Structure 1
């Protein structure tokens, strides 16, 4: 009984008193509703600022990313096309500038010059005019070139470097032909949508 009484007393001591004064959370002169509305409005402004600030930025980033990918795709396509075209042009032009016969050497090498450009065209023109054409006519020299293989070293939309493997058979008069094999580093430049040899360097 004594224990229960003490326990009862302790419980009663912790129970709130009915006569405790009520404390108003919002003292006279304040408006709880106005404060809540102001808080909601501030949050709304922050959210709006984030939304309207981030969305345009994200849109610009996405647009820039799409533009870059499109540019990259276009560039890659142009380079692949340049590789294919330059290898073909370098191979065909190498055959043309190294192939001739005594009866048509003037016409053949004149046509070959149209596949060249820059200083190499000038040097080739002088060499063929001063040495190759007269020698071919006088000694009945004929040359036939073939390209068994070629590979792209580097390529851009307007310039490319190609490794060309050349076999050239030369016949002098009635002598048996002699064949030589060589490797040439050929640089080609795009001029008026045509790939022209601008440098021809045996390795």
Structure 2
């Protein structure tokens, strides 16, 4: 009983299929395989690359934030702490943590006012930083909010304590964060 479906009255539109002839594919299917599939693959690759870029730049910003907060903390303590007998060297060393016009103005202020005043009036200042936080950070520029507690002793008087917040602007020069701005808030 080898009946053919071609002659079958129930399925009159079916053609006979030769098992040796491969089935025909439609043009649309050929185009989708040759055009659409590579576009999908390229889109996925581009999306993955973009996400990788975002992840990398986020990691750079996080590392910059951490290192700039440490530099701002150490810098604020160095800029605001001195003793009368070592003020000249201490504050000169602190100016090595600065850059740009801020370095020039800080050096001028310390040489003309702070160091002579510390020696003449026996002034000591000790700064501590109880808290600091990154406001913004990129690979080469950062802004940090630093909370400073400073105790100042003039001669034999009792210490006077002040607390303040300072916005510290830093620029990365080489592999060091240097302070380029120091603005009380």
TM norm structure 1: 0.77
Higher helix residue share: 1
Aligned counterpart, 1:74: 56
- Structure 1 residue runs of 4+, over 2 Å off? none
Question: What count of residue pairs does the alignment treat as equivalent?
Answer: 165
Q: Deviations over 1:72-102 (max 9, x none)?
A: 1101111111111111111110000000111
Shift of 1:46: 3.2
Q: Does 1:103 align with 2:111?
A: no
Question: For the pair shown, which has the larger CA radius of gyration, 1 or 2?
Answer: 1
Q: How does 1:3-82 map to 2 (within 5 A)?
A: 40=24, 43=26, 45-82=27-64
Q: Distance in 1 between matches of 2:110 and 2:31?
A: 76
Aligned counterpart, 1:14: none
Look up the SS of the partner of 1:119 in the other structure.
Answer: helix
Q: Distance in 2 between matches of 1:78 and 1:64?
A: 21
Shift of 1:68: 0.6
Look up the SS of the partner of 1:188 in the other structure.
Answer: strand
Shift of 1:55: 2.1
Q: Does 1:164 align with 2:162?
A: no
Aligned counterpart, 2:4: none
Q: Does 1:117 align with 2:80?
A: no
TM norm structure 2: 0.84
Q: Does 1:144 align with 2:126?
A: yes
Aligned counterpart, 1:126: 108
- Corresponding residue to 1:187 among 148, 156, 169: 169
Q: Distance in 2 between matches of 1:47 and 1:154?
A: 52
Look up the SS of the partner of 2:163 in the other structure.
Answer: strand
Look up the SS of the partner of 1:103 in the other structure.
Answer: coil
| Unmatched segments (≥5 aa) in structure 1 | 1-32
Look up the SS of the partner of 1:157 in the other structure.
Answer: coil
Instruction: Give the CA RMSD over aligned residues.
Output: 1.8
Look up the SS of the partner of 1:116 in the other structure.
Answer: coil
Shift of 1:40: 3.6
Q: Distance in 1 between matches of 2:64 and 2:181?
A: 17
